[in-house]
Structure formats: structure tokens, C-alpha cells
Structure 1
Amino acid sequence: MNGEVSNDWQVEVFYDGKCPLCLREIKLLRRFDRKERIRFTDIADPLFSPANYAMTMKDFMDEIQGRLPGGEWITGVEVFRRLYAAIGLKPIVSLTRLPGISHGLEFGYRVFAKNRLRLTGRCDDGTCKVD
């Protein structure tokens, strides 16, 4: 279900393994996560149960979810910031916190998240379906 080996992770990412764009990003992160600081959990895995996290599948599908080692949940762009910081890109991550850049990223991510299923070809006849 998840690919963690290390117990020294900094962020857990809950990703949609049926989303081609999401998978491309996850593959990149896995390649650069040499210190195994990211715990990867595929919400499309048949063994995944959102109830184990006191959440619904809709919660996980509406926007990317992340969890910190202390149990704190993070969502949206903040998940990406933590993921990229975990692979050693903290200087770049700090730029994403600047007011104009931060707002642009948040807006862009909200548009993407709202249209993700349609953009990745997972809608038929105007209806987006999630298994």
C-alpha cells in the first residue's frame, strides 16, 4: 500500500495512483527521495480505507492530503512544499511562500484539483467517476 522503508519520514503523501499526472509527480519524488523522508500512500490501492484515517474518499479525492509524523494533516500546496523540502529543495520552497507566488500557486492548485478528473480523462459524458 505504501512504499516506506524508513521510520524517519517527514511527510506522508496520499496520492491517487489512477491519476496519470499525479503518478508522474510521485515517480519524480520517489526518485529524489534518497533519504526516504516521504511516506507514499496510494488512495487507489484496493486495500486503502479512508475510514482508517477518519476521513472519506471524497476528502482524499477533492485535494491532495498529507500527514506529518505528529499526526497533523496538511492539504493542497502545503503538501507539495513539505514534499519538496523533504527531498532537499528548501530554498525553492521558501520562494513559494512569498505573497504573490503563494497566492498564485494556491489559486492554480485549486483550479487543477477541481478539474483533475476531467483533465486526466476520467470523466464520461460530463460525469466524473471515482472507483
Structure 2
Amino acid sequence: MYNRPHWPLSLYYDGDCPLCAREIQLLSRHADEHRLLLIDISRADFQADSVGIDRTTLSNRLHARFADGQWLTGLDATLWSWRAAGLGRWATPLTWRALRPLFELGYWLFCRLRPHLAWLPHPAAGKRCQQGQCNADQRPDPSSDARL
């Protein structure tokens, strides 16, 4: 695929998804902004038309784009985002041909179940909810949390 990636990699993720937000929190702690840009598609100010893919498509499968315009989806977006954050060794199994079909099946199942996992605790819940009221737009920037 890519031997010489054109950084940065822009990763389009759903910040309202509790599991996704946990992964982004981990990536943001390690990522350098010159290699990985984290873009939350659930934010009210996100303009899907600016990337040429509608919000529904972006939310159904993980998307990432290198600086040269090359798009990656699904497991490839995961693999390269982890590489961009310097955590590629943890994602190396995604490159193993013998296991790739199993990982693809697991990812497909996750994508189907993800909308039903909103009940899981969100890592930013304490910052999003105050005095009994929650507001998704109060979600903190994951890169600012990671640097604390």
C-alpha cells in the first residue's frame, strides 16, 4: 500500500461513540499533529461537504486521508492512524494476511453493533455533563486532554 506516506494523516472519527472516543484518547496522547490530525465528525461545526463524503458514510466506517488526498477506510484507516501515532507495533497484526479476513469480519460486526453501544460510559462524560445536563458540544478537544 503505502511505503512512504504523505503526512499528516487526517482521521475522521465519531466522538459520540464511547469506544471510538477511548481509542482517539489513546492515539491523541501519542500523536504528533504533524503526523495525525483528529477530526470529530459528530461536532456541530464539522462540514462533511468539505471532504466530499457525507456524514452518514463517514460514520458507517472509519475514514482517513493522507495529505496527498489518498483515502483509507476501515482497518487500513485504523492501521495507519496507529502508525501515525507511533503505535504501529500494536496494530501490526492487521497486516497479517492469514488473519486479515477474520479482522475484516470483526470490524464489520463492530460497525453493525457500534450504534447500539451508546450506553457505554463515554471517557469525556464528566466534562460533557454538569449539574444534571449534558451537551455533546462541550466535548473537549482530545489533543488538549492528552497533553495534561
What TM-score range do you get, normalising by the shorter chain? 0.7 to 0.9
Please state if 1:113 is matched with 2:111.
yes
Identify which of 64, 71, 79 aligns with 2:77: 79
| Higher RCO (CA < 8 A, seq sep 6+) | 2
Give the unaligned 5+ runs of structure 1: 1-7, 123-131
Report the equivalent of 1:47.
Answer: 45
How far has the Cα of 1:90 moved from its partner? 3.6
> 1: distance between equivalents of 2:87 and 2:23?
15
3-state SS in 2 of match to 1:100: coil
**Which stretches of structure 1, 4 residues or longer, exceed 6 Å deviation after superposition?**
none
Q: Is the 8 A contact 2:7 2:36 kept in 1?
A: yes
> 2: distance between equivalents of 1:35 and 1:51?
23
Identify which of 62, 65, 83 aligns with 1:64: 62
Give the unaligned 5+ runs of structure 2: 1-5, 121-148
How far has the Cα of 1:88 moved from its partner? 2.3
Q: Is the 8 A contact 2:75 2:94 kept in 1?
A: no
How far has the Cα of 1:35 moved from its partner? 6.3
CA change 1:35–1:71 in 2 (3 A) is closer
Please state if 1:11 is matched with 2:5.
no
How far has the Cα of 1:51 moved from its partner? 1.1
How far has the Cα of 1:67 moved from its partner? 0.6
3-state SS in 2 of match to 1:44: coil
- Once the two structures are superposed, what CA deviation does each residue of 1:71-92 show, in whole Å capped at 9, x if it has no partner? 1111000011001111223444
> 2: distance between equivalents of 1:17 and 1:72?
23
TM-score, normalized by length of structure 1?
0.78
> 1: distance between equivalents of 2:107 and 2:37?
22
CA change 1:121–1:91 in 2 (3 A) is closer
> 2: distance between equivalents of 1:61 and 1:76?
11
How far has the Cα of 1:107 moved from its partner? 1.0
